[in-house]
Amino acid sequence: MYFCNMIVVTGALGFIGSCLIAKLNSLEKTNLILVDDFSRTKKDKNLKGKIFEKKIERSLFIEWFKENAEKVNEVYHIGARTDTTEFDINIFDKLNLNYSKSLWNICVKYDIAFVYASSAATYGLGEFGFNDDHNLIEKLKPLNPYGESKNNFDKWVLHQQNQPPFWAGFKFFNVYGPNEFHKGRMASVVLHAVNQINRTGEMKLFRSHNPKYKDGEQLRDFVYVKDVVNVISSMMMRKTKNGIYNLGSGKARTFNDLVKATFKAMNYKINIVYVDTPLDIRDRYQYFTEANMTKLQLLGYYKSFTSLEDGVKDYVSNYLLKGNYF
Per-residue pLDDT tens digits for 78-122: 987 756 555 667 776 677 789 999 999 999 999 999 999 999 999
Q: In this structure, which long-range contacts are made by residues 37-41, counting pairs with CB atoms below 8 Å and at least 24 apart in sequence?
A: 37/13, 38/13, 40/13
Of the listed ranges 115-124, 294-303, 304-313, the least confidently predicted one is 294-303
Are 100 and 196 found together in one domain?
A: no
pLDDT at 280: 81
CATH number of the structural domain spanning residue 202: 3.90.25.10
Is 239 contained in some domain? yes
Q: How far is it, in rounded angstroms, from Cα 225 to Cα 176?
A: 6
- The reply to whether 122 falls in a domain is yes
Q: Which of 45, 183, 239, 264 is labelled catalytic?
A: 183
If asked whether residues 97 and 125 sit together in one domain, one would say yes
What whole-number distance in Å separates Cα of residue 221 and Cα of residue 217? Answer: 13
Q: Decide if 325 is inside a domain.
A: no
Identify whether 43 is a catalytic site residue: no
Mean pLDDT (the chain) is 94
Which range among 36-45, 96-105, 190-199, 276-285 shows the weakest confidence by mean pLDDT? 276-285
Residue 146 annotated as catalytic: yes
Considering 230, 250, 270, which residue would you say is the last residue of a domain? 250
Beta bridge partners, 272, equal: 203
Q: 11 and 58: one domain?
A: yes
**Owning domain of residue 246:** 6-175+222-250
Asked whether residue 93 is domain-assigned, the answer is: yes
Cα 35 to Cα 11, 54, 85: the distances in Å are: 6, 9, 24
CA pair distance 48, 120, nearest whole angstrom: 29
Rounded CA-CA distance 256/160 in Å is 43
All residues at 6 or more sequence positions from 119 whose CB lies less than 8 Å from its CB, including other chains:
82, 146, 147, 150, 171, 172
The whole-number average pLDDT for the span 192-210 is 96
Q: Are residues 47 and 191 in the same domain?
A: no
pLDDT at 1 over 70: no
AA identity, residue 256: N
pLDDT 10s digits, 144-169: 888 899 999 999 999 999 999 999 99
Q: Do 105 and 160 belong to one domain?
A: yes
pTM for the full predicted model: 0.95
Q: Quick one: 85 exposed, middle or buried, by C-beta within 10 A (0-12, 13-18, 19+)?
A: exposed
The answer to whether residue 268 sits within a structural domain is yes
96/210 same-domain check = no
294: left (phi over 0), alpha (psi -120 to 50) or beta: alpha
pLDDT higher than threshold 70 for residue 248:
yes
Residue 41, pLDDT score: 86
Min mean pLDDT across 92-101, 157-166, 226-235, 257-266 is at 92-101
Residues 129 and 60 grouped into a single domain:
yes
Does some domain include residue 293? no
Catalytic residue among 99, 123, 146, 319: 146
Residue 223 has pLDDT above 90, yes or no: yes
In the prediction, which pLDDT does 4 show? 75
Q: Does residue 160 form part of some domain?
A: yes
Residues contacting 290, CB < 8 A, separation 6+:
130, 219, 221, 248, 250, 251, 252
- Residues 175-201 have a mean pLDDT of 95
- Other C-beta atoms closer than 10 Å to the C-beta of 41 total 9
The total number of structural domains in the chain stands at: 2
The whole-number average pLDDT for the span 273-294 is: 91
Are both 148 and 204 inside the same structural domain?
no
141 & 207 share domain: no
Q: Is 200 exposed, middle or buried (0-12, 13-18, 19+ CB in 10 A)?
A: exposed
In a shared domain, residues 25 and 62? yes
> Is 152 in the same domain as 48?
yes
The mean per-residue pLDDT over the stretch 243-272 comes to 98
SS3 94: helix
Sign of the Cα torsion 94, 289, 175, 266 reads positive
Domain annotation covers residue 209: yes
Q: Does residue 174 have a pLDDT over 80? A: yes
What is the 8-class DSSP label of residue 201? S
Q: What CATH number is attached to the domain comprising 26? A: 3.40.50.720
Same domain, 41 and 150: yes
